[in-house]
Every structure is written in structure tokens, then in C-alpha cells.
Amino acid sequence: MLPKKVKKRASLFTVFLSISVIGVFLILSALNDNILYFNSPTDIKIKQDIDYEKKIRVGGMVKKNTLNINDQEIKFIITDFKNEISVSFKGTIPNLFAEGKGVVAEGKLKDKKFFVADRILAKHDENYMPPELKKIMEDSNAK
């Protein structure tokens, strides 16, 4: 048996909290496209109204054996294992940037298959392990 005042405050609070949960949910779902930090190549393929002047970010994996570094530029293909986009970039790359690793490129689309980046960020995955173990894993994969 709770006193009447406590009950009143509890119900007031419940109403307040449910309203704010709904409010936050509505705001987040309205902002959904803007909260996404990057688009995958598949997102870009589906997208109808692409603004070629606007800066966007494309993210995915650097496809194996496609990284091509020469004096002028770095070229590679971003893949999400369904669709691909080729990227060309001039500038410095972060330490963790490598083939088969995650990457986010910032820049402009030339067309749906070609992207000119002016900034490259490496995306780290959630795996942490000592180097010896990685070697053992690679060896067992090779066999």
C-alpha cells in the first residue's frame, strides 16, 4: 500500500518517460539517413537521387588484390561482397589501411561505379589477438 502522493508521482513519471521514449524514437527514425556514417556500395546502387556535387562517405572492405599504389594516386575497390565501387585517392593513408580490411572513404561520386576520395579512414574490426596466434591461424588456413 503506497501513499497516494507516491502513486501520483510514479504515474506522472511513467507518462513522462513513455512520451520521451516515443519522442526520441521519432527523432531518430526521422534522422535515420543522417545517422548512418557511411553508405555501402549496395546502398549507392539502390539510391535513386544521387547528388554528384555533395560529399558522401562509402564504406566496406578493400577488395583483395585490387590495391594499386603508384606515385600519383592510390586505387582500390571497395566491396560489401555484393556490389563494388572503384575508388581513386591522393593523399596519406592511415596505418591500418590494408587489403581485406575495413575502410571508409570520403569524397564525391563520379558515377555509380567510380568514386573520387579526398579522405580515407581505416575501420578496425572487433578482433583482437596476439601476432603469434594470427600467424598460426593463417598457416592453418593455407594448408
Nearest CA among 140, 130, 123 for reference residue 60: 123
The C-alpha cell 500500500 sits at: 1
Residue with Cβ nearer other proteins (7 or 110):
7
Where in 16-75 is the site for other proteins (CB under 8 A)? 16-17, 20-21, 24, 28, 32, 35-40, 59
CB 43 within 8 A of CB 57: no
Q: Which amino acid is at 116?
A: V
What would the x/- binding string for other proteins be over residues 114 to 143, using CB under 8 A?
A: -----xxxxxxxxxxxxxxxx---------
Residue with Cβ nearer other proteins (2 or 48):
2
Q: Which helix (H) or strand (E) holds 86?
A: strand 84-89
Q: Which stretch binds other proteins (CB under 8 A): 6-14, 44-52, 64-72, 107-115?
A: 6-14
